[in-house]
Structure 1
Amino acid sequence: MKRIQTVMAALMLTGAAGLPLAHAADISQGVHTLDLSAGAAVLMHEFGAGNAGNTFSDRYNFTVDGGAALGALVGSLDQASLGLGGAGFDSFKLYNSAGLSLDGARQSAPGAAAEVWTLSARHLVPDSYYLLVSGTVRNAAAGNYVGSVAISAVPEPASYGMLLGGAGIVGWLARRRKA
């Protein structure tokens, strides 16, 4: 009798080990390379219907050739009653080529119907960077997230020096003419 119980227990454990585990699927996009030559680019990921609970971690590569300031945002609208699927974001980060990161900031309450995250960096040096958008699809309706990233040149310190020098010369010339 003891032997039958042992064999049955072994068979049940073997059967349980063979069952598929239920977990969220990874629906991440491939790596995207952004063209910021015009100063801005769009981030976007569309989810098909039936992806509720699935996760994503999307990477957007770009390079900065000179000193630059960066502003980025990402958002999603979750309205299942209207047939709109949305994303709940776990993180929005900027990484450089050395792996150092800067975290984005959530601008909406966690779990809000419209979720928005922003990120800004004032002094990016010439390097390769990437934005990483991670989260979970909230409901089974088809939906997406969208965002944008913009960079602008940061004036060199010499530019400010030339500006002050020019203002000083104009002031000196104005005073000289008065005299």
Structure 2
Amino acid sequence: MKSLIAAAVLATASLGSTAAFAADISNNPQALAVLDNTANFGSSFLLNNQNNTFADKFRFSITRVEHDFDAIVSSITRNASTGMDITGLSLFSNNGTLITSGTQESTGAVDIWSLRADSLGLGNYYLQVSGKMVSGTGGSFGGTVMLAPVPEPETYGMMLAGLGVVGFLARRRKAAKQA
């Protein structure tokens, strides 16, 4: 009889403890549709997810030359106690190595995070937006990324050679006028 009561107490205690943990409501990783070195991204979450967390991933690749990377993400709600709270914006290499973390620009009813990374090499990456649902209402976030190619050293060499030729021709022209 004592073991039956102990089992009932244990079962009841374990039922109450599961409610204390937040569920992970992350969406499946999504590919960023990069067009002309820019892309938009975002996710939405349904009602009744209060205290649940998310870490949504947005994948992209750099295939030609190194690129500088800039991103911004925001979430807007009526006040800080509804919707969601964005708690992080991070850039990772494909193997999960953290490259850089974003900066929180605004918090409260309007959450804004920005991130920048210089000279990303060729390879696969993902941007991760993390957060928590602060109420039972739904919520969403949206963002934009910008990739800017970094000129290769050969480009600078050609530019300097071109300036040298222009300078040489200008000097010859000036000498010809004086003669």
The normalised TM-score by structure 1 is 0.85
1:70–1:124 contact (8 Å) kept in structure 2: yes
CA displacement 1:97-156 (0-9 Å, x = unmatched): 3432111111124xx211111111120111000011111012222221111112121111
Whether 1:10 aligns to 2:9 is no
Label 1:98 to 1:50 Cα distance change in 2 as closer, same or farther (>3 A): closer
Where 1:30 maps in the other structure, the secondary structure is: coil
Of residues 94, 99, 102, the one that matches 2:96 is 99
Partners of 1:106 and 1:127 lie apart in 2 by 27
Partners of 2:89 and 2:170 lie apart in 1 by 52
Of residues 123, 131, 134, the one that matches 2:119 is 123
2:79–2:109 contact (8 Å) kept in structure 1: no
How many residue pairs get matched? 171
Q: Which residue of 2 aligns with 1:40?
A: 38
Q: Cα RMSD between the aligned structures?
A: 2.2
Label 1:7 to 1:27 Cα distance change in 2 as closer, same or farther (>3 A): closer
Unaligned runs of 5+ in 1: none
Of 10-19 and 94-103, deviating more is: 10-19
Query: Per-residue deviation at 1:72?
Result: 0.6
- After TM superposition, the structure 1 = structure 2 runs for residues 48-63 of structure 1, keeping only pairs within 5 Å, are 48-63=46-61
Question: Counterpart of 1:76 in structure 2: which amino acid?
Answer: S
Of 20-29 and 168-177, deviating more is: 20-29
Query: Per-residue deviation at 1:47?
Result: 1.6
The normalised TM-score by structure 2 is 0.85
Partners of 2:114 and 2:139 lie apart in 1 by 20
Of 95-104 and 84-93, deviating more is: 84-93
Unaligned runs of 5+ in 2: none
Of residues 78, 83, 88, the one that matches 1:86 is 83
Q: Which residue of 2 aligns with 1:68?
A: 67
> What percent identity do the matched residue pairs reach?
35
Partners of 2:51 and 2:7 lie apart in 1 by 32
Partners of 1:169 and 1:11 lie apart in 2 by 89
Greater than 4 Å deviation, 4+ residue runs: 6-9
- After TM superposition, the structure 1 = structure 2 runs for residues 23-34 of structure 1, keeping only pairs within 5 Å, are 23-34=21-32
2:75–2:84 contact (8 Å) kept in structure 1: yes
